[in-house]
Amino acid sequence: MFPAGYERAPLPPAQPEGERTAKVADRSPKPPTRTSGSEQGRGRDPFFDNAKYLTIVLVGLGHAWLPLRSDSRAAEALYYALYTFHMPAFIIISGYLSRSFEARPGQVKRLITGIAIPYLVFEIAFTFFIRAVENPDREFTLLNPGYALWFLVALFIWRLTAPVWNALRWPLPIALAIAAAATTCPGIGNDLNLQRVLQFLPFFVLGMRLRPEHFEMLRRRELKLAAVPIMAAALAFAYWAVPRMNKDWFLRDNAAQDLGVPWWVGVVMTLALFGCALLLTACFFAWVPTHRTWFTTLGAGTICAYLLHVYPIQLSRIYDWYAMPWVDSPTGRIIITVITAVMMTALCTPPVRRAFRWVMEPKLDWAFRRDPVDQARARARG
């Protein structure tokens, strides 16, 4: 779910040609020390690839668990706990990998080819898909993102505004104020899913403010151990909250008034959910491996899994696969979980990524001017 170009390190400042080669090693941002020499050359960090893969699997599980909630309070509690942190974790990583975005020509090109073009193509494809299998009269519009495609819209908007957040002195409090204000405004509507864009904004801004040392702090052994009782307590609280709390708070696509409560409840819930999400996200990051694993390379294919898993998930709803007798049992729920994890893993593999690169990572060099900073950096590497 992270388009190509997200792992690129910030570009070195332009220098005279004679000085550039000599100083490029000192001026270029240093990746974390645990990264191997080959990975440093590519600017990739195993931790973030591992986190990206694990979060995309959690996204698939969240979508697959949705129909199971009505039959099991435990499944509903798992759903609540998962939705508290899995999208915030996704978005924090997105913000962290967007720290260097300054709207340079090369960066704008990657923003368009890696986010805007896939959104346009898959929004059109999803419309025709739904027309073919469920609703022939489905409206064609690019302003109302189809299932799960809202994240690409949000990512596009957030990255465009990255220079603004970098320029502000207190960006996170301002982002929280915007998110809280959005929960009091039912008139925002569904165009471009702006409610979600605004309510999830603080996590993106937080990611932009984080530095490698913040992630290093979470890898201490005592924090890994402390994450166990914290997660257990979160699950217990979620089990208690199932009959008492509206799950739509976790989706962040409604104002407080739309959920039948006063406006001020939206402000309180924004702050409460932000705090809970940070705590559980920290626990999640504490458990993410920092070294290369068998799934590290799959972190580069999360955009494929995100955009493609939508179709089997929708087919399972349309054709009511969950009505099969074996599904409504603890064993059935475990099987659904395993099938979903395998599916998300398969969609992240290099063959799938290569097959869809033409639409998810199109070159389109003919449509853009060359970025002189990128050209200078290429010459420095040479």
Q: How confident is the model at residue 272 (pLDDT cuts 50, 70, 90)?
A: very high
Rounded-to-integer distance, Cα 306 and Cα 56, Å = 7
The more confidently predicted of residues 297 and 369 is 297
Alpha carbon distance 99, 163 (integer Å): 9
**Cα angle, residue 54 at apex, residues 280 and 326 outer, rounded to 5°:** 95
Confidence of residue 3 (pLDDT cuts 50, 70, 90): low
Interatomic CA distance for residues 298 and 44, integer angstroms: 13
Q: What is the pLDDT of residues 177-220, one digit of tens each?
A: 999 999 999 988 778 899 999 999 999 999 999 999 999 999 89
pLDDT at 43: 59
Is 36's pLDDT higher than 80? Answer: no
Q: What is the rounded distance in angstroms from the CA atom of residue 9 to the CA atom of residue 126?
A: 33
The predicted pLDDT at position 254 comes to 92
Q: How confident is the model at residue 374 (pLDDT cuts 50, 70, 90)?
A: confident
Average pLDDT (340-359) is 95
- pLDDT at residue 33, as a whole number: 38
76/68 Cα distance (integer angstroms): 8
- Packing angle, helices 73-96 and 201-209, rounded to 10: 50
Among the residue ranges 64-73, 88-97, 133-142, the one predicted with the least confidence is 64-73
pLDDT confidence band for 381 (50 / 70 / 90): confident
Q: Which residues contact 305 (CB under 8 A, 6 or more apart)?
A: 1, 56, 60, 344, 347, 348
Q: Which residues 6+ apart lie within 8 Å of 94 measured at CB?
A: 2, 6, 155, 158, 204, 207
pLDDT(6) > 60 = no
Query: Which of 162, 165, 185, 160 is CA-nearest to residue 175?
Result: 165
Query: What distance in Å separates the CA atoms of residue 362 and residue 102, rounded to the nearest whole number?
Result: 21
336 touches 68 (CB < 8 A): yes
CA 189 to mean position of chain CA atoms: 22
pLDDT, one tens digit per residue, over 211-259 is 999 999 998 999 999 999 999 999 999 999 999 999 899 999 999 999 9
Are residues 49 and 297 in contact, defined by beta-carbon separation less than 8 angstroms? Answer: yes
87: pLDDT strictly greater than 90: yes
Residue 59: both structure tokens together: 């996204």
Residues 252/199, Cβ–Cβ less than 8 Å: yes
Over residues 146-169, mean pLDDT: 94
Which tokens go with 153? Answer: 């819209």
Full-prediction pTM beyond 0.95?
no
Tokens representing 109 are 């090109």
Give the pLDDT score at 1: 59
The mean pLDDT value for 331-342 works out to 93
